[in-house]
Structure 1
Amino acid sequence: MPQKPFDLGGKVAIVTGGGRGIGAAIVTRLAGAGAAVVIANRTQDVAETLARELAADGLTVHCVPFDRFDRNSLRVLVDRTAGRYGRLDIVVHNAGGCPWSSIEDLDEAKLDEALALNLNASFWLAQAAIPHMRANGFGRILVTSSVSARFAMGGGAHYSAAKAGVNAFIRAAAFELARDGITVNGVEAGFIAKPGRGTMSAPENRASLERFIPVGRMGTADDVGYAMLYLASVEAKYITGQTIVVDGGATLPETGFAVERQWGL
């Protein structure tokens, strides 16, 4: 019998920021493929609800309260997970975001927060996970990045800079770890809908935005979740140091005018 594609049976994963949205989709796809998944989430009740729902479907999901992204806290998270399950195979740093601010009004606290959460934590998670993955001869280090790493966004220069740093981290870490059976990749998410929250998902804003997305809609969390599932799989063993852009083609045209002219909007 041929092996089931993207089978993660026997694998153990950590997903930061896995309680809802993109993170919840990643958790669901990894667990659905057979992995035991630990959700490290700042909002505990949201993560616990997801874990209960998935456990009711027979999946192995455990959540831990987590609101610190410093080096020591991330190492404790990784080591405890590996101790609980006897191994660690997949780490997805999905937690992200930043307090929005123009460059003119940006202060040190906001810049430090954006860098610590999005970029620094990627280093510390990888550093903690490498020994466990090396012992297995298999590892997947994944990061949720953003198309903002490539394109300007008002009020988010510090976020864009952090995500651009994430992309550079992915390439460098992939190079260093290639001979250890550990791949390092990411997904650059575009406009992903957040039903019930977020100003972009409000009906009037969403309709306006979707005019400029070539496929005609905002993305769903699952669009990112399935991309992460592939990158976490054995089948993606020859891909490392890359990011998959999941944006419905939004970054293809030079301007929104090109989209309007193409479809006569």
Structure 2
Amino acid sequence: MAFDLSGQIALVTGGGRGIGAAIATRLAEHGAHVTIVNRTAEAAQAVADALCGRGLSAGTLPWPGSERAALKGLVDEAVGGKGRLDILVHNAGGCPWAGVEELTESQLADALDINLRAFIWLVQAAIPHMRRQEYGRLLVTSSVSARVAMGGGAHYSAAKAAVNAFTRGAAFEVARDGITVNGVEPGFIAKPGRGTLSTPEKQAEISRYVPMGRMGEADDIANAMLYLASREAKYVTGQTLIVDGGSTLPETGYAVENQWGLR
């Protein structure tokens, strides 16, 4: 089987729904035992139960918050249960949207805590375990917002750009330890059943400006993560893979409309 993860132990944050649930599912389908962490424990348990019901291996741990000691405890608990940790995926993220002039200290702290600080502390906690076994995959869900602008999300873009920079720096430091550090940058991904991106009208509106003509699906991100988590990606490190249907290719939406004659 391509991308065989049999016997490997994975920890996925933000794994209770959407992209995170798809990542956890894909890793489990390829043989990994997956520990799912989510701020809503019930959502994580539902994903784990569904996987176990299919004969796959999964469990859950509660999200402890973004503080350094708590996240070290989370990693240590995941390792303690199985004796090792091969794959860490920090997918948990979010943004309290606000324009630059209205941005509060609390909103900035929230964006930095979950997107950046949590990733840094999780990586720090995981490295000693992975170094000891001379193998590891440290992964993060970043965003194309790290390189393009979106109104009301300048602080989110800043956090994700910092995530990308940290990915490169961390990858350099552990490159000779058998550990790779990589990320995936999703573009517009449909979120069935929640948020403005779940409505057919909004999806159709956005899809007009995507060169591939559609929004992405959670599985599109999960498949990219599967590759980066695999042994086949052994010579890839310090990279973030853009998965956006070509959205960041044209200079403006006008270019898309002109190319395909959209009106």
Same fold (TM over 0.5): yes
Identity of aligned residues (%): 66
What is the one-letter code of the residue matched to 2:217? T
Residues 47-87 of structure 1 deviation map (CA, whole Å, 9 limit, x = unaligned): 11111110011111101121411111110010011010010
Question: Does structure 2 retain, via aligned residues, the 8 Å contact 1:12–1:88?
Answer: yes
Counterpart check, 1:239 vs 2:236: yes
Residues 157-214 of structure 1 deviation map (CA, whole Å, 9 limit, x = unaligned): 1100000000001100010010000000000000000001111221111111100001
What is the one-letter code of the residue matched to 1:171? R
Residues 136-157 of structure 1 deviation map (CA, whole Å, 9 limit, x = unaligned): 1100000000000001110011
What is the one-letter code of the residue matched to 2:190? A
2:14 aligned to which of 14, 17, 28: 17
* SS at structure 1 position matched to 2:175: helix
Aligned to 2:77: 80
Aligned to 1:178: 175
Question: Does structure 2 retain, via aligned residues, the 8 Å contact 1:41–1:67?
Answer: no
Give me the TM-score of the superposition, normalised by structure 1: 0.98
1:31 aligned to which of 23, 28, 31: 28
What is the one-letter code of the residue matched to 2:236? I
What is the one-letter code of the residue matched to 1:253? P
Distance 2:148 2:179 in 1: 29
What is the one-letter code of the residue matched to 1:225? A
Counterpart check, 1:214 vs 2:211: yes
What is the one-letter code of the residue matched to 2:210? I
Distance 1:262 1:24 in 2: 35
Counterpart check, 1:120 vs 2:120: no
Aligned to 1:192: 189
Unpaired runs of at least 5, structure 2: none
2:146 aligned to which of 142, 149, 152: 149
Q: CA deviation at 1:122?
A: 1.0
What is the one-letter code of the residue matched to 2:143? S
Equivalent residue pairs, number: 262
Distance 1:157 1:199 in 2: 19
Question: Does structure 1 retain, via aligned residues, the 8 Å contact 2:64–2:74?
Answer: no
Residues 102-132 of structure 1 deviation map (CA, whole Å, 9 limit, x = unaligned): 1101111110110011001111000000011
Q: CA deviation at 1:217?
A: 0.5
Aligned to 2:136: 139
Aligned to 2:37: 40
* SS at structure 2 position matched to 1:180: coil
Residues 10-68 of structure 1 deviation map (CA, whole Å, 9 limit, x = unaligned): 11010000000000000000011111111111111111111111001111110112141
Question: Does structure 2 retain, via aligned residues, the 8 Å contact 1:139–1:181?
Answer: yes
What is the one-letter code of the residue matched to 2:89? V
Aligned to 2:90: 93
Residues 227-248 of structure 1 deviation map (CA, whole Å, 9 limit, x = unaligned): 0000000000000000110000
Distance 1:44 1:80 in 2: 16
What is the one-letter code of the residue matched to 2:252? T
Counterpart check, 1:202 vs 2:205: no
What is the one-letter code of the residue matched to 1:87? R
* SS at structure 1 position matched to 2:155: helix
Counterpart check, 1:61 vs 2:68: no
* Cα root mean square deviation, aligned: 0.7
Distance 1:171 1:38 in 2: 26
Distance 1:105 1:257 in 2: 30
Deviates more, 1:237-246 or 1:196-205: 196-205
Aligned to 1:164: 161
